[in-house]
Structure formats: C-alpha cells, structure tokens
Structure 1
Amino acid sequence: MAYGLTFGVGTWGLLMHAMRLGLTPALAAWLLQASAFLTPLLAWAWLREPMRSTQRVGAAVALLGFGLVLFATAGDMPVAGLLLAVLAAGSLSVANVVVRRSGVPTMLAFIVWSCLFAPLPLLVLAVLQGGIEVLFAMPAQLARPMALGSLLIQVYPVTLLGYWVFGRWPSAGEWAGMAVIGLGLVISLRPTRMSAPAPRQTRLNRAKKLDGCA
C-alpha cells in the first residue's frame, strides 16, 4: 500500500499535475531527480545505510549544480509546478526506501499488488482537475502510439526492471545517483521534442549535477 500510494499517486500524480500547470517535461524530469539527494538521506536515516566520503562529495557537487539549474530557469517555470515536482521527488525517495526495506523476492508480484491502491486516488485527482469528461477521453488518448509507448516504457524497463535491479544494488544511495544518468536522454530530446534549447549556462549546471551523481 505504501509503495502504491507514494510511487503511483505521490510521484506520478503530482508530476503530471505539475506539467499540467505549465512545467515542461524536461524540467519535470530534471526536478524529479532531486530524489538523488533525498534517497541517500532517507536510506541513511531509515535503513542505516552508511554514506562514504565520495558519496558526500558527489552529493554536494550535484546539489550545487541542481541549485544553479533552478536559479538559471527560475523565470521559466511556474512556482506551483516547481513545488509539486519537488514533492514528487520526495515521494519517489520514500518509494525507493519502501522497496529497499521490503526485501521482496518477486518484484512483479510486489508491483502488481502495491499498485492496486493507486488507481482510485489517481482517478479522483483526474476528475478534480479536468472534470468527468476526462474519463470518456481516456480510451482515445491511450490509443495514441506516443501515450501507449510511454506507458509500456514506464511499466516494464523503468519500474519492473529498474526496481528488480534496485533490490539487488548494494546501496540505495548509489542507485539513486545512477538513476540521474538517464536524464541524458531527456536533455538530448528536449531541443527537438519538448521545447527550445537550454541556455549554455543551464547546460553546464546540468553537467555539473550529473558529474556529482556519477
């Protein structure tokens, strides 16, 4: 139940609402990776996982880059969307620690049973945001190749495979940092698929964050 609510509702429900408020997909994906700093802290406090000196230095460099990105793009993002994306990152960090603490041997069964708690709250949020009409528009939207492809990617390689590997990774903090590297794809797609190219200073700040997390 905890995983279904934190990952399904707290992470993706809040992040989708942030993009509905005007946050671009590239910035939403970037802000979600604040979990790279929050997950190690939660793992240290909750699971008593030690943080090596190299992890502390890397987290400090990444945090600096993250702060500079926020400063460089402050005028380009809605404040409400920013806050929701950061809350989504915090919820993702809690979900990561929940999975780590559960120690389940079969990730597929864990995901299936946990996510039974997510659809109803998400449905309520969708109706509150867009009215009852969203329920009738949903089948047509899911039939679109882009929407269906996004759903399949999120379910199989990102969630099932990702958390299967995560459960066998030595440290939750190290895994959270590795996850940031996947943002390279998002950044590379941004100029052509999502929005205008990012300014040079913003790209440098993002590279600094990636270096710290690596």
Structure 2
Amino acid sequence: MNNRKKAIVISMLFANMLVFTACASTEKPTANSAAPIISTAPSTVNELTPTVTPTETPEASSAPLSTPNGSITVKPVSVPSETTTVTKQIKEMFELAKVGKVAGITFAGETGFFEDVEKAWGSADHKDVVGSFIYATYGKKNAVIGFNKGDQIIDIRSNDPKLQTITLNQILQALGKPVDTKVNGDDTIYIYKASDMFQLKFIIPKSSGKVDHISVFDTKHSVNNMAR
C-alpha cells in the first residue's frame, strides 16, 4: 500500500472516532446509571403518622351551681306525694279511734263526760235528741259531742274542713274494705272496727263523694243507762 492510501485510511478512521465520541456525549443516562436517585418518601414511620395531642377531659366539678344571686348547692328534696300524706292522715285517725279520740278534740269516749266538755267549751250552740242520746253541737270547734243519759260521751264527731277533701278511694287504700256500710238518706256510712269498743265511721254524701264528717263511736256504752 502506497503512502497515499495509508493516509486516506487513517483519515477515515479518525473521522469515525470523532462521530462516535460526539454521539456518546449526547446520550442520556439510563436507569442503570450510577447517579443517585433522590427519594421523596418520608424517612421514618413517625413522619407518616401525624402527632395527635389527646384532648383533656374536664373533671367533674364539685363546685356549687352559679346563679345570678350567687352560688348555691343544689340538693334533691324528697317531697311526699299527696296520696302518701292523705294515707298517713287516715291511719292516724284510725289509731286515735282505738282509744276513743278524734284529732283536735281533747275529750275521749268512755272516759269523758259531757260536763267536762261544758266546763272547757261552754254551752253548746244547740242540742238534739237522737234516739236515746243527746248530741251537742259546737260550730266553732267543728265538733258534735254525743252522750248518753248518764252524761258519758259515746260519740265524737268532727267536720273539720281538713277532712272534707278525703275520698272513698283514699280511705280504701289506707284501711281496706270497711266491716259494714249503712245508708242514711243521701249519706253512706263506712264503718271500720278500730277496737273491741270503738268504731271509726266515715260519712260520705252521694252528692259530693267526699267525707262530710267522721265519727268515733263507743259501741259498749251506747245504751240507755245511767253509767257513771
């Protein structure tokens, strides 16, 4: 090969090298490149979980309630029902009747005499004869006192307004069924045995359906005698 041909070959080889170098310099790095990859993921688990501050639960305050007039302590108040109050009232009547008495009247059947009533209360408004007995009415005392011919008290009646709100149902709830009932005109008389000697009677007019008056009646001395 002459020198001219050698020169041409060398020139071509040199040109190819230049083209190859140029192509290599413009080629983008591949996925296998050793260049570091910047990660956008959180580095720790704690960074993924937001920090939650627990909500504090206020403790129940023992402080009294606040009112416009100041602080007061509110306490539950037990108030007896009307039914309970009336039941207690009726049972107290029954207990007094056992010893011949009525609430609000100091005299008693069997042991009391009408002369004692007159000494304490004075003369009656009026007296009425009913069978073998005499009944003295004292309007201001809401009372009628019955006595036999021996002057012994055998019947104490009270028409106190406090009694005149009581109904038959309330009596039945407190004392149960009466031992006997009687009808006198518009009145129905409900009779309870308080003791071997005394009866407790509730007189209820049909027109009102409520107690008109009560009676504590001495069954032993309610006879026509001169007992003293």
Same fold at TM > 0.5: no
- Structure with the bigger percentage of strand: 2
Q: Which has the larger radius of gyration?
A: 2
TM-score (norm 1): 0.27
Higher relative contact order (CA 8 A, sep 6+): 1
- Structure with the bigger percentage of helix: 1
